Amino acid sequence: MNSSGVAQRWVWADQVNDWVVYFSVPTPDGCDLVCGAYEAPSFTSEVYIRVAFSELGVTGAHKKKRKVIPLIIALVGGVLIILGLMFFVWRKRTKSSEPKGDDEQVGSDTDKLYTNESQKDDLELPLFKLSEIAKATHNFAFNNKLGEGGYGPVYKGVLPDGKEVAVKRLSKTSNQGLDEFKNEVICISKLQHRNLVRLLGCCIQGDEKMLIYEYMPNKSLDYFIFDESRRKTLDWPGRFNIINGIARGLQYLHEDSRLRIIHRDLKASNILLDFDMNPKISDFGMARSFIGNETQANTMKVVGTYGYMSPEYAVDGLFSIKSDVFSFGVLVLEIVTGKKNRGFFHHDHHHNLLGHAWILYTEGRSLELIDENLSDSCHLYEVLRSIEMALLCVQRSPEDRPSMSSVVVMLSSESELPQPKQPGFFYTEHIPKDDMSSSTHAPSSTTAMTITLVDGR
């Protein structure tokens, strides 16, 4: 077949034989190099062939042949895809049987953290190597241990750049587990506020799972307010600053953050204190986020800490931003009095701290609540207002409790406060003696039996 009508670089060699096209390419020395059969047709090749046909004036004559070409393309394409898939599976198998380097292991374990791809894409958190953390904590030395919670031990560490960190190491026997770990990573890595502790990264390698936080040199609030001598060092301006900071942190979680977050385990040991005694809310293992207009949810697995849980949450598993408001109210009364709500004792009655505060309030004796160590530094107006605001927060009905933005306004203004109604859970809880000393999380699926005495009316 004459090839003169074909575009510049392509010259037909001799024939168009059914679907096999032979072609030649001119070489620099003027010869035609025969390239042989067209074995891997592609869209481009089809275009060429079509051009060739039309320029040769054979379009009509070769219609049948052109119909066959897409079929061939599909067949060869199919074979290529199958070969590709086989290669991919083979590569994966070989890779998983290969020994892993540190970094690979971190990556593969991290994948397990996320239940879907969008969560993984959302991760804004550095991953540390186990060797880095071991070095920073002197191999998890006893002297570096800051304390221990339900999650496991917490160690102080120093990174190569001199930055001090706190490392929470998930214990293998922990009653909190991978779910809380994932929750904390996913939840807090998206948040940033001066009253929330900063999660700097995590380490997931082999069996080890660790969270790396900014180090808080003054430990947690419980370390101060429930200790006879340390309590004396915390004057009223300091305590009021802490109350305000917690309120602002919570307001951010509930109303201003990218997600609407319910902390669900607000308590004195989850308020960390920085060098200047500014509070930072920590421990987001139990936190839940709400989407859109969602404001409350129900769970069969009640988690939280005795003494801080709202009645509707402890009894019915119903949680909302108002269950956090309840815990905040308890916390404020503990800060003002220096006494724990849970385990509170008074020789005149069997009420807990909430009940005690309520009785004194209704009798106009709220001043008797104030920690005696505060007498010198006390701004009575602020203290009494804080007590009243706290009583509004611990009201039995969630609808009656203020939002955190209202609380922030109440703390900073002198506007008249509404009259609080009776609090929820104001009798001493009947909790087994063994449980009284620790801040145990309520066991799962014990909603009805977690707290046996609801409020007395």
Ligand X SMILES: Nc1ncnc2c1ncn2[C@@H]1O[C@H](COP(=O)(O)OP(=O)(O)OP(=O)(O)O)[C@@H](O)[C@H]1O
Q: Which residues bind to ligand X, rule: CB under 6 A? A: 146-151, 154, 166, 168, 197, 213, 215-216, 219-220, 269-270, 272, 282-283, 439
Residue whose CB is less far from ligand X, 279 or 423: 279
CB atoms within 10 A of CB 238: 17
Contact predicate 320/288, CB 8 Å:
no
Q: Which residue is nearest to ligand X (CB)?
A: 149
Angle between helices 404-412 and 236-251 (to 10 degrees): 150
Q: Please tell me the distance from the alpha carbon of residue 218 to that of residue 109, in angstroms, as a whole number.
A: 33
* 161 in catalytic set: no
Q: Please tell me the distance from the alpha carbon of residue 104 to that of residue 362, in angstroms, as a whole number.
A: 63
> Given the DSSP bridges, would you call strands 199-205 and 164-169 parallel, antiparallel or unpaired?
unpaired
Q: Please tell me the distance from the alpha carbon of residue 269 to that of residue 282, in angstroms, as a whole number.
A: 9
Least distance in Å: CB of 42 to ligand X? 59
Angle between helices 380-393 and 321-337 (to 10 degrees): 150
Q: Please tell me the distance from the alpha carbon of residue 363 to that of residue 174, in angstroms, as a whole number.
A: 45
Residue whose CB is less far from ligand X, 341 or 386: 341
Least distance in Å: CB of 316 to ligand X? 23
Residue whose CB is less far from ligand X, 186 or 272: 272
Residue 361 vs residues 370, 392, 423: alpha-carbon distances, Å = 12, 12, 12
Contact predicate 156/162, CB 8 Å:
no
Least distance in Å: CB of 450 to ligand X? 15
Residue 217's closest CA among 126, 156, 286, 298? 156
Residue whose CB is less far from ligand X, 213 or 326: 213
Residue 132 vs residues 34, 172, 200, 257, 454: alpha-carbon distances, Å = 62, 21, 14, 32, 49
Least distance in Å: CB of 437 to ligand X? 12
Catalytic residue among 207, 227, 265, 371: 265
Give every strand in the sheet of 32-37, ordered side by side.
11-17, 20-26, 32-37
Least distance in Å: CB of 254 to ligand X? 20
Strand partners, 145: 155
Least distance in Å: CB of 225 to ligand X? 13
Residue whose CB is less far from ligand X, 282 or 406: 282
CB atoms within 10 A of CB 95: 11
What DSSP assignment string belongs to 198-252? Answer: PEEEEEEETTEEEEEEE--TT-BHHHHHTSTTGGGG--HHHHHHHHHHHHHHHHI
Q: Which two tokens stand for residue 120?
A: 């993984």
Angle between helices 353-362 and 321-337 (to 10 degrees): 80
Q: Which two tokens stand for residue 284?
A: 């987001």
Residue whose CB is less far from ligand X, 13 or 166: 166
Q: Please tell me the distance from the alpha carbon of residue 423 to that of residue 329, in angstroms, as a whole number.
A: 10
Q: Which two tokens stand for residue 217?
A: 């040199």
CB atoms within 10 A of CB 257: 17
Least distance in Å: CB of 302 to ligand X? 15
Least distance in Å: CB of 350 to ligand X? 26
Instruction: Compute CA 16 distance to the chain's CA centroid, rounded to the nearest angstrom.
Output: 65
Residue whose CB is less far from ligand X, 21 or 188: 188
Residue whose CB is less far from ligand X, 16 or 303: 303
Residue whose CB is less far from ligand X, 147 or 206: 147
Least distance in Å: CB of 166 to ligand X? 3
Q: Which residues are catalytic?
A: 265
